[in-house]
Amino acid sequence: MLALLPALRRYSRSLTRSDIEGEDLLQDCVEKVLVHGNQWRGGSFKSWTYRIMTNLHLNRRRTQQRHPTVPIDEAAATAEPEMATDPLENRRLMAALETLAPEFRAVLMLVVVEGHSYQEVADMLDIPLGTVMSRLSRARHALREKLRQENVIQMRRPQ
């Protein structure tokens, strides 16, 4: 479980788009895995854990849609981590990622950032392998188009 924590933290933050909510999701996931570990039926522990996190996130979104809330501390700003690359490019990339549908963003993050195989992602999200491939393709295309629209100078030849 300890070896999965860094990857789970990144995944939770990509799902929630918030450091604070991501940490809450991570804690809930770890708690659920530890409390209900006896329900694991073998197979990939990593996939089972990611599936738990995905389900927890989806359940929270459904609850928030049914019962909207307003944050008490909207003024509390969290410090952004220092980026080693161009901050403008990072902002553009983050903004482009925000425009992706959650199911596309989740597949993109798991394959591209976390380096999981298509089959692992299919198991984690409980979707067919073909759906993983099509979502990844659509996410990459949407991201490419969004970033291309904002380029002042075309850096690559059109595809």
pLDDT tens digits for range 84-108: 567 777 788 888 888 889 999 999 9
**Contacts of residue 140, Cβ cutoff 8 Å, sequence gap at least 6:** 108
Domain boundary among 79, 110, 129: 79
pTM of the model: 0.51
Query: Alpha-carbon distance 27 to 19, whole Å?
Result: 12
Which CATH number belongs to the domain containing residue 66 in this structure? 1.10.1740
Question: What range defines the domain where residue 21 resides?
Answer: 1-79
Shared domain for 49 and 105, answered yes or no, is: no
Query: Alpha-carbon distance 108 to 119, whole Å?
Result: 14
pLDDT of 42-92, one tens digit each? 788 888 899 999 999 998 888 888 877 766 665 454 444 554 567 777 788
